[in-house]
Amino acid sequence: MCQYDVEPLLSKAPILAKYSDLEPLGTKVMAEYIWIDGFNHIRSKTMTLDEKPKSLEDLRVWNFDGSSTGQAPGNDSDTLLKPVAMYRDPIRRGDNILVLSACYKADGSANQYNHRDACNKLMEKHADQDIWFGIEQEYTMLDYYDRPFGWPKGGFPGAQGPFYCGVGTGNVFARDIVEAHYKACLYAGINISGVNAEVMPSQWEYQVGPCRGIEMSDQLWMSRFLLHRIAEDFGVKISFHPKPILGDWNGAGCHTNISTKDSRAEGGMKVIEHYLEKFAKRHMDHIKVYGEDNDLRLTGKHETGAIDQFRWGIADRGASVRIPRSVAMKGCGYFEDRRPASSIDPYLVTGIITETMFEC
């Protein structure tokens, strides 16, 4: 059978409800362990716990077959899952939990794809700088056949213009998924701060933050898990590719907003300018970890700067880094690195930003 004859298997919510409403025997709860694999994708599996854990220390270090996730060879495949953050589960609800986990080898060293370990060390080392991050996660919804959701079959929608922050049928697509994800993040305890439709139809954005240090990346990864998981129920795919549709369409980024105790203080504009002098010197080092296929997005068009150039500007969405006009007027605050692609590993991005500001 041709793959295009196959329809997506959607969640049968009314049937599932008969079972999801069942009360467990005694105090047992389900813990969904979630981790990042060797392809910068998300994996998960479930463990039954005898009772609701009170802290991370109550959770077991688990393991999985790393040879099936691109993280270990077959002859030494057991990879450890160490719990690093815990959230309420908006899907199963009750006392069930989501457990963000980091991957380690048997000898206790970080798995080569565990970028959280190095990032956390940087954040702890520079905790006195009180670094705040906020990340704007853009993404594109695709249908079962990898077409942008809601686009005409075999064709294209109208030109970009009415879709950014759009309202009304034909201007926005799949708002149900967006609303469900927003509420699920709030329920879980993720500091989601807003959502909006983006410039390209079927493209959306949500913002997480401000968060201090390592919490930024932890929460962004968990929000991505929830987005994928909720989209399953609607038969929709989530793409974090930075340029899902070639041509005269906006790409998808992960604009990263940064402030420190000094940039937020009086005279902080000078501090920001000092940071950006360092950013300019390490531009290509940053680009290397700012997402695959980012060259397709950072063209100098569609509200991006050119990938081989670094410049900053006030209220300039065509620059590598934008300083909001309100910050320039106030003389202190935050700045926005517009270079990261939507597909980034936020541990790498927040890590190199911290390293550049305070170790270079």
Domain ranges, ordered by start, for the chain: 26-113, 124-359
Cα 301 to chain centroid distance, Å, stands at 24
d(CA 242, CA 341): 5
The one-letter amino acid at 7: E
Determine the pLDDT at residue 4: 45
Phi and psi at residue 97, in whole multiples of 5°? -135, 160
Phi and psi at residue 13, in whole multiples of 5°? -55, -45
What's the CATH number of domain 124-359, 1.10.150.20, 3.40.50.300, 3.40.640.10, 3.30.590.10? 3.30.590.10
Q: Which CATH superfamily is domain 26-113 in?
A: Glutamine synthetase, N-terminal domain (3.10.20.70)
Along the 360 residues of the chain, how does pLDDT read in single tens digits? Answer: 344 455 566 778 788 888 888 888 889 999 999 999 999 999 999 999 999 999 999 999 999 999 999 999 999 999 999 999 999 999 999 999 999 999 999 999 999 999 999 999 999 999 999 999 999 999 999 998 899 998 888 888 888 888 999 999 988 999 999 999 999 999 999 999 999 999 999 999 999 999 999 999 999 999 999 999 999 999 999 999 999 999 999 999 999 999 999 999 999 999 999 999 999 999 999 999 999 999 999 999 999 999 999 999 999 999 999 999 999 999 999 999 999 999 999 999 999 999 999 999
Tokens of 223: 């929000």
* Helix extents (H) in 174-330: 175-188, 215-233, 261-264, 268-281, 283-288, 325-330
Determine the pLDDT at residue 20: 84
Determine the pLDDT at residue 23: 84
